[in-house]
Amino acid sequence: MWTWFYKLASPPYVYGVAAALMPWLLGLAAVTIGYGLIAGLGFAPPDYQQGDAFRIIYVHVPSAWMSEFVYTTMAVAGAIALIWRIKVAHAVAAASAPIGASLTLLALVTGSMWGKPMWGTYWAWDPRLTSELILLFVYVGVMSLRSAFEDPARGDRAAALLAVVGAVNVPIIHYSVVWWNSLHQGATVAKLGKPSIAGSMLWPLLSMFVGFMLFYGAVLCLRLQGEVLNRERQSAWVREAIKS
């Protein structure tokens, strides 16, 4: 029953699966993101308070969700790597970091662009914005720490440890709008009971979220193949993989 789980620790298996999955994930991501953008920008009605400026949420909210999701994936992979010493888990963490950092930057920039017409300022030292900015710094810290060691194995361990410690920021980001007075609006979609957003606005948003998840999967597959090759370049199976 657990055979599939153990296989995930095998670099050649992971390399093969990532190569096979990547085109499918990318194709599905293109379809779902395409639908989300067309429906969200062209067909969803304007918000009764924010007008058409609300359409920024179709890129802001998925990127903000993904910044937390990718970080959680990176921290869990880091913890698995530290506890069970699985090299592939280090590769997953290393491959996730630049993707998560870029999505965090996207969330910050689009949030700032939304803030100007809605709040009258591009930036405020609000708990949600500040904790999201700290997330970006942690991503950059994890990437810098990994490359700061001459011995890659030590760099991997140090980066994994920082990723695990930095995970404390994820619930802070998520609940910052509940715990503190915040300019940022509270949960609209991910809340208990009925989401306080109309279906015609919600479906494109959910499609964008699924699209961003699939896109992360596709880019992770590409980067993961590179990470695995870099770590396993002396192995016999790499010779066969490179030939094919």
Partner 1 sequence: MSSGGFWYMGGYARYVWPCIGFACVVLAWNLWSARRYLAAAKIRAARAIAMAASEAR
Q: Shortest Cβ distance from residue 92 to partner 1 (Å)?
A: 14
Check if the beta carbon of residue 62 is closer than 8 Å to that of residue 53. no
Q: Which residues are bridge partners to 47 per DSSP? A: 51
C-beta closer to partner 1: residue 8 or 53 = 53
- Can you read off the two tokens belonging to residue 129? 């914005």
What is the DSSP secondary structure assignment for residue 51, as one 8-state letter? B
Q: Are 36 and 58 in contact (CB under 8 A)?
A: yes
Which residue, 10 or 175, is less far from partner 1 as judged by CB?
10
Residue with smaller CB distance to partner 1, 63 or 73: 63
Nearest to 229 by CA among 242, 216, 218, 217: 242
State which residue, 50 or 130, has the beta carbon closest to partner 1.
50
Least Cβ distance, residue 100 to partner 1 (angstroms): 10
Please name the residue that has the structure tokens 């009764």.
Answer: 48
Interacting residues toward partner 1 by CB under 8 A:
26, 33, 37, 41-43, 46, 51-53, 55-56, 59-60, 63, 98-99, 102-103, 105-106, 109-110, 113-114, 116-117, 215, 218-219, 222-223, 225-227, 229-230, 233-234, 238-239, 242
